[in-house]
Amino acid sequence: MIKGSPAGRIARMTGDSGPERVLIAASFVNRVGNGLFNAAAALYFTLIVGLPAAQVGAALTIAGLIGLCAGIPGGHLADRRGARMIMMLALVVQAVSMSALVLVESWAALTAIATVDQIAAAAGGAAWGALVARVGGERPAVFRAKLRTFVNLGVVLGTVGAGLAVAADTRGAYIALILGNAASFALCAVLLLLLPHCPALAAPPRQRRRSAFADRPFLVFTALYGAMGLQYPVVSLLLPIWISQHTEAPRWTVAAVFAANSAFCVLLQTRIGSRIETPGDGGRAFRTAGLLFLVSCPMMALAAHTPVWAAAGLIVVAVFVHSLGEIWESSAGFALGFGLAPDHAQGQYQGLLGLGFSAGQALAPAILTTVVLGLGTVGWLLLAVFFAALGAAGPALARWGIRTRPQTAVAEDATV
C-alpha cells in the first residue's frame, strides 16, 4: 500500500520546504512562458510581422551578444544587494520588454527591445543562480534535480501550447504566445515575493571585487562546461537535419526525438541528479556524461547506414543514451558550479558560468552544421571523442578546485 495522501506526495516531489516549493513553482511558470515564446518567435517575426529571416536572425544575435555582458555585473549586484530583489527587477523588465514585442514593425525596434530583454535575462539568470544556492537547504543536489525536472516539464508544456498557435497560424494566436510569456515573467516576480528575505553575505577581507576572474579552476570549468554544452543542440538541431537528409527513418522520427528527450529528462533527472552533491561527485558525473555521449553520437551516425525498419529504433535508443548524458552533465554543472563558488559570490560566479555556457550555445550551430555535418559520419565520431575528452578532465578539475578552496568551504574527501 502506498503511504501518504496524494497532496503529501506531490508536496514532497516539489520541494522539502516552503521556499523550495516557491522557487520550483516560479521556475515552472517562467519556463512554460519561455516554451510558448521560443518555439514560435521566429515564425511570428517572419510570417506575421514580415521581417526577412536574415534580419530576425541578426537582431536576435546582436541582442544575445550584448546580453552576455550583463551576467557577471548582474550577479555581482545580486551578491551585494540581494538576489531576490535583482531577480524580481529583471523579471519586471522582461515582462515589459516582452509585451513591447507585439508593437514591433521594424528591424531596429526588434533589435532594441530584444537587447533590453537579453540584458535583463542575463542579469536575472545570475541572480537566479544565487537564489538557488541560498534556498537549496541541507540537500541542495536533490532540490536542484527537482528544479530542473520541473523546468523541463514547463518547457514541454509551453512548446505544446506554441504548437497549437502555430497550427492556428493567425496574428492573434502568435500575440497570445508573446503576451503569455510576458505574463509568466510577471507571475514569476509575484511568486518570488513569497520567498523570505535573504540578506547579502559579507565578503572576506581583501577579497577581490571580481574574484571569479581570478579563480583559475572555475575559469577552466566554465570553458569545459561551455564546450560540453554543444550536446544540447545535438538533439534540437543536428539530429533532425541528419534524420531528414541522411537516414531512411520516417519524418515523424524528428518529433519523436524531441518528445523522447524531454520525457527521459523529466522522468530521470531527480533520480540521478539527487545523488550528485559534492564537487567530487560533479567531476565523476562530468566524466560519465562524456562517456555516454561517446556512445550516443556514433549510434546517431549509424542510423544513416541501417535499413529503414531499424533506423527509427536506433535513433530512439541513441536519444535515450544521450538524454542520460544530458542529465549527468547538468547535474555535474550544478555540483561543480555551485560547489566551487564561495557563498558570498554565488551570483558573480553563476554569471561567469552563464557567460561561458551562452558563448558555447552561440557557437554551436555553426560548429555542428559545418564541421559535423560537413564530415558526415566522421564528424559524428570526432564529436563523440571531443565530448569524451572533455568529460575525462572532470575528476582532475574537481580535485584542483577542491584543493584551492578554503578548507572550511569544501568539506569533503578530495579523492575522486
Residues 99 and 215 in one domain: no
Is residue 413 included in any domain, yes or no? no
Residues 366 and 250 in one domain: yes
Give the number of domains in the chain: 2
pLDDT at residue 49, rounded to an integer: 86
Residue after which a domain boundary falls, among 192, 226, 253: 192
CATH number at residue 151: 1.20.1250.20
pLDDT at residue 182, rounded to an integer: 93
Residue after which a domain boundary falls, among 159, 192, 225: 192
Give the pLDDT band (50/70/90) at residue 209. Answer: low
Is residue 205 included in any domain, yes or no? no
Residues 389 and 292 in one domain: yes
Over range 185-200, report the average pLDDT.
87
Over range 34-45, report the average pLDDT.
80
Residues 338 and 251 in one domain: yes
Is residue 1 included in any domain, yes or no? no
Over range 250-263, report the average pLDDT.
77
Residues 251 and 370 in one domain: yes
pLDDT at 299 over 80: yes
pTM value? 0.83
SS3 of the chain: the string is CCCCCHHHHHHHHCCCCHHHHHHHHHHHHHHHHHHHHHCCHHHHHHHHCCCCHHHHHHHHHHHHHHHHCCHHHHHHHHHHHCHHHHHHHHHHHHHHHHHHHHHCCCHHHHHHHHHHHHHHHHHHHHHHHHHHHHHCCCCHHHHHHHHHHHHHHHHHHHHHHHHHHHHHCCHHHHHHHHHHHHHHHHHHHHHHCCCCCCCCCCCCCCCCCCHHHHCHHHHHHHHHHHHHCCHHHHHHHHHHHHHHHHCCCCCHHHHHHHHHHHHHHHHHHHHHHCCCCCHHHHHHHHHHHHHHHHHHHHHHHHHHHCCHHHHHHHHHHHHHHHHHHHHHHHHHHHHHHHHCCCHHHHHHHHHHHHHHHHHHHHHHHHHHHHHHHHHCHHHHHHHHHHHHHHHHCHHHHHHHHHHCCCCCCCCCCCCC
pLDDT tens by residue, 358-414 = 888 888 888 888 888 889 999 999 999 999 999 999 999 999 999 988 754 444 444
Residue after which a domain boundary falls, among 192, 225, 256: 192
Residues 152 and 244 in one domain: no
Q: Whole domain around residue 87: which residue ranges?
A: 17-192
